[in-house]
Amino acid sequence: MIENDIFKALADPTRRAIFDKLASGAMNASSLREGMEISQPAMSQHLSVLRNARLVKEERQGRFVNYQVDPAGLNVVAHWLSKYRAFWPERIDALKTLLKDMDQ
């Protein structure tokens, strides 16, 4: 179940930080580690979890692996969230009708 993989992946704060960093621009695993006090294997394992959840996708470039955000995972979160739009605050009420189109 992909939805479960996604929410489990996002449950870790380090992984959300990695994802957030990646959202500001694609980069390889070494660049991701910069300023993040995390070991190389730990980073590799986190990226593996994120990739498995389709939150991130990789592209090998020589001995580097370039990582970037994969919209697929985010889309699942968006759809999960859209199921509960009835409970969203009124000030983003306009969002509700738009999300209705999302369902098809």
List interacting residues with DNA (CB under 7 A).
8, 11-12, 14-15, 28-30, 38-49, 58, 62-65
Among DNA, a copy of itself, none, partner that 25 touches (CB below 5 to 8 angstroms by kind): none
Residue 68 · residue 48 · CB < 8 Å: no
How crowded is the C-beta side of 84, counted as CA atoms within 13 Å? 7
Nearest residue (CB) to a copy of itself, 40 versus 93:
93
Contact with a copy of itself (CB under 8 A) among 59, 64, 95, 100: 95
Element (H, E) at 16: helix 13-23
Distance between CA 103 and CA 70 in Å, rounded?
21
Contact with a copy of itself (CB under 8 A) among 30, 59, 78, 100: 78
Q: What is the DSSP letter of 26?
A: -
Cα torsion angle, 52, 16, 23, 60, sign: negative
> Interface with a copy of itself by CB under 8 A: which residues?
1, 4, 7-8, 10-11, 13, 16, 20, 23, 69, 71, 74-75, 77-78, 81, 83-84, 86-89, 92, 94-95, 98-99, 102
